[in-house]
Chains A and B, each alone.
Chain A
């Protein structure tokens, strides 16, 4: 009844090719963004920013990056954690070498550097496929983390082995460090994520996205159709690593503020981001964010319910949380193997008919 495209006529090519062709979708997204930009900032506290919103946005962006590679181009990667690290260390070097540099430029430049590294480690994908490739990207993961520890220049030879974010402002507003207002950090991260997500949405339905999907669905067939595997796969690695690098830079500058090689950028993050896109839905932009929301929020919700409301001890609740998380993952996979995004789509299709049965 409410969600119905009947009567929405497209009178131009531009309208037909809009990102959100259905008016209700468009309004929903606009409303969501308005709430996120204009309402949420007033309710942001240090807790909501550091424990929920920033992790959600940053992991959502990283998941989006991996989804471009895995969901759209079909190349499994387990190097995400280390690539986020490349972004973070690039941001650190850029910020300390050029203190005047605008933060957004720092983020984008870190993304570009990560894209370069990602393309380098993407080269074997021309020869290696599937789970074999996933394990091969682990070589990148372990090598890069080793390098973060080994190469003192990366952390300006600090005695502590840590990198710490220097205080930087963005158009006069303090953005980094713990004195910065949580709402400011949140808004900057949100703006970055919104722009990049819209960019991704456009990219995947354009020429690049189509060549990636062709590669994913069957690489031999795609080659026969004239898609060259080298540019297609490497561009996927590049774009994906760019997003992951930006996410890593934001993770270090806006969220954590201090980081250490394997501790912050270890393999656990590689797996976490991969889980996000599988749970959320491979090959969907929305799915990346749904998956990130699920894996960031669920443990906190479970923990707060069990510890605060039910009064369990912290450790018992934690063990139980693992069991419940595992069961939920299996439950969702059995319910809908194609992820939360697919569930959302089914809901929308049901909504179209609602409240009539046919």
Chain B
């Protein structure tokens, strides 16, 4: 019983970790209809930049000069500014020239972006594993372990709190602010939004900046587990079933989808995995999402697809 509880709790918390990645996808898809393949690489790039600032690495030479090391708060702020700058660059140099293209072309564009960021991240900061030391707690929670024998990972609790804060902030931003309203208008209908005087370019830059910051958060949380390294960009693959299950354009969908996938795959791995030789959770997550899709083809919270001739 305790083991089942542990599995479910771990599943839920892991699900939140997936949601953190999926959120970035949702933000961009909602506002611009772009399926951002580069989201995982953005998390890697943000993580590398943060680790570089924290240790005082000199870009390109990969030499560490500890005199340049920044304290965590400064490093995080600096990285946020880097991600905002990146968003503005992407909007200026790329998005602006691809207005009104088909979704698959924009998808391909993000692939090109992924290549550039991957190469640039390695060029600037090197391809070694970087230990990310922000003083985040990790390991089992002592109190729960000692009094109930229940194992809960502290890092994931932090991640859950951060995710909750992030979603609240996003919700307030979307619902209560002027820019948020503009964002929703753009998400609804590009042309209508343009015609009431909303600048698409500004909105896109803002959305990409927001996705960049979400990527930084995801990079920190996943990087705290494994160190910052290339494989961080592959977390995007764990976010995809979450996305389709929740719906590409729904923030709550990303969270709920994450929880369902997290619990589903952990239960499958622990109880069903040993029967067939294990390592089932990767494909099981996709199969689970597929099963949901057969019932609701637009995902749980996705906007209903209406087709007219």
Contact = CB atoms under 8 A, between A and B. Distances in A.
Q: Do chains A and B touch in the complex (CB under 8 A)?
A: yes
A129 B305 contact: yes
B69 interface: no
Given A76-B104, A139-B289, A127 B276 contact: no
Interface stretch (B93-101, B164-172, B192-200): B93-101
A330 B286 CA distance: 30
Interface string A124-140: 10011111100110110
A143 interface: yes
Contacts of B299: 132
Contacts of B298: 132
Interface string B104-115: 110111011111
* Residue with the highest number of chain B CB atoms closer than 10 Å, among A127, A132, A143: A132
Given A142-B283, A143-B287, A323-B119, A337 B105 contact: yes
Contacts of A130: 103
Given A150-B277, A320-B123, A337 B101 contact: yes
Contacts of A320: 119, 123
A330 B279 contact: no
B108 A275 contact: yes
Interface residue tally of chain B, by bracket?
A: 35 or more
Interface string B274-309: 001101101100110110011001110000010111
Contacts of B286: 135-136, 138-139, 142-143
Contacts of B237: 138, 267
Nearest to A321: B119
A326 B123 CA distance: 14
Contacts of B305: 129
B90 to A, nearest CB: 10
A322 interface: yes
A124 B113 contact: no
* Residue with the highest number of chain B CB atoms closer than 10 Å, among A149, A150, A323: A323
B276 A322 contact: no
Contact of A142 (B113, B282, B293): B282
Contact of A136 (B102, B244, B307): B244
A327 B298 CA distance: 33
A36 interface: no
Contacts of A322: 115-116, 118-119, 122
B103 A131 contact: yes
A154 interface: no
A128 B298 CA distance: 8
Interface string A87-106: 00000000000000000000
Given A220-B309, A322-B122, A330-B112, A282 B104 contact: yes
* Residue with the highest number of chain B CB atoms closer than 10 Å, among A325, A326, A327, A328: A326
Nearest to A218: B309
Interface residue tally of chain A, by bracket?
A: 35 or more
A149 B105 CA distance: 35
* Residue with the highest number of chain A CB atoms closer than 10 Å, among B113, B243, B244: B244
A330 B287 contact: no
A132 B309 contact: no
B120 interface: yes
Contacts of B294: 124, 127-128
Interface string A318-358: 01111111111110011001000000000000000000000
Contacts of B151: none
A269 to B, nearest CB: 14
* Residue with the highest number of chain B CB atoms closer than 10 Å, among A124, A146, A150: A146
Contacts of A327: 112, 116
A27 to B, nearest CB: 33
B35 interface: yes
A278 B104 contact: yes
B258 interface: no
A221 interface: yes
B240 interface: yes
A224 interface: yes
Query: What 8 pairs across the A-B complex have the smallest Cβ distances?
Result: A322-B119, A326-B115, A329-B112, A326-B116, A139-B286, A142-B283, A323-B119, A330-B112
23 contacts: A127-B294, A127-B297, A131-B103, A135-B240, A135-B289, A136-B290, A143-B286, A143-B287, A146-B283, A220-B307, A220-B309, A278-B108, A322-B116, A322-B122, A324-B119, A326-B112, A329-B108, A329-B109, A329-B111, A333-B109, A334-B94, A337-B98, A337-B102
Given A131-B244, A278-B104, 12 more contacts: A124-B293, A129-B297, A129-B305, A132-B244, A138-B286, A146-B282, A322-B116, A325-B119, A326-B115, A329-B112, A330-B94, A330-B116
